[in-house]
Amino acid sequence: MNRITTSLAQDKKLLSIYFTAGFPNLEDTVSVLEQLQEAGVDMIELGLPFSDPLADGPTIQESSTQALRNGMTTDKLFSQLQGVRENVHLPLIVMGYFNPMMQYGVERFCQRCQEVGIDGLIIPDLPVDVYHEYYQKTFQKYGLMNMFLITPQTPAQRIRYIDKVSEGFIYMVSSAATTGAQGSFGDTQDAYFKRISAMGLKSKLLVGFGISNAKTYQAATSNSKGAIIGSAFIKHLEKNGSKSVKQFIDTIR
């Protein structure tokens, strides 16, 4: 069974952490993965840096730029992850843009993901209908789940289509803005969380964008299976380095 499915079946709220591969230093990737596992997170999203990350806010954009300057490439990431499953047993998801994957070769990319133990992908710029028609069979061939994003503006019909196609979870973007940490959620976001929860979707919901502390984590998970933290964790890595992971996780739950 896919590790994502196993994690989603747990009787608890999940915490997923995103960080950019090769940041803050090129060879920090595996160390951060291992520390996140030791700190008790439930899932990890590993960002594949790209030069034009349109869905990302300034913090993640800057981390991607730094990772690229450090020398991170798709091949380098797969090289770093070789053997990672000897110590890391959590679900690992690669989050990145479709252009580098197409340049690499979609099937070749999926095959390498399977070889190093990746469980799924999040590709913000790959539309669900394009995936469904052209790529789903390839992803399934290599045991990869593909998670899709919805926003407060996503029509109900589209959400139900995404729910039908999805095999993992649905990434529920907390607002229409780009990624970035914020201190709290307002009534509009709370109403959005409740509205999607009330749709009775088969897929579990994980909330992302704007989760930065225990308060926003609790608010996000009150109507979902879990929450995803990215920008706030990257800021922590930037300020404190890659040896202080547990210190951050302890502030969330």
pLDDT value for 180 = 47
pLDDT confidence of 166, banded at 50, 70, 90? Answer: very high
Token readout for 236 is 């922590």
Q: Which residues are catalytic?
A: 45, 56
For residue range 40-64, list pLDDT tens digits in order: 999 999 999 988 766 667 899 999 9
pLDDT, tens digit, 9 for 90 and up, residues 105-125: 999 999 999 999 999 999 999
Q: Give me the pLDDT at residue 178, please.
A: 45
Instruction: State the pTM of this model.
Output: 0.93
pLDDT tier for residue 190 given thresholds of 50, 70 and 90: confident
Instruction: Give the integer Cα–Cα distance in Å for 81 and 15.
Output: 22
Q: State yes or no: pLDDT of 177 exceeds 60.
A: no
**Residue 54: its pLDDT value, please?**
64
Task: Count CB neighbours of 184 within 10 A.
Answer: 11
**Alpha-carbon span 187 to 174, nearest angstrom:** 12
Predicted local distance difference test score (pLDDT) of residue 50? 86
83: β partners: none
CA distance 83 to 136: 26
Question: Residue 118 and residue 244: Cα distance in Å, rounded?
Answer: 25
Q: Is 145 helix (H, G, I), strand (E, B) or coil?
A: strand
Instruction: Check residue 119 and give its pLDDT.
Output: 98
- Walk me through the domains of the chain, giving residue ranges and CATH numbers: 14-249 (3.20.20.70)
* pLDDT, mean over the chain: 93
Which distant-in-sequence residues (6+ apart) come within 8 Å of 216 by Cβ? 182, 183, 184, 185, 210, 227
Report the sign of the C-alpha dihedral through residues 136, 142, 145, 149, in that order.
Answer: negative
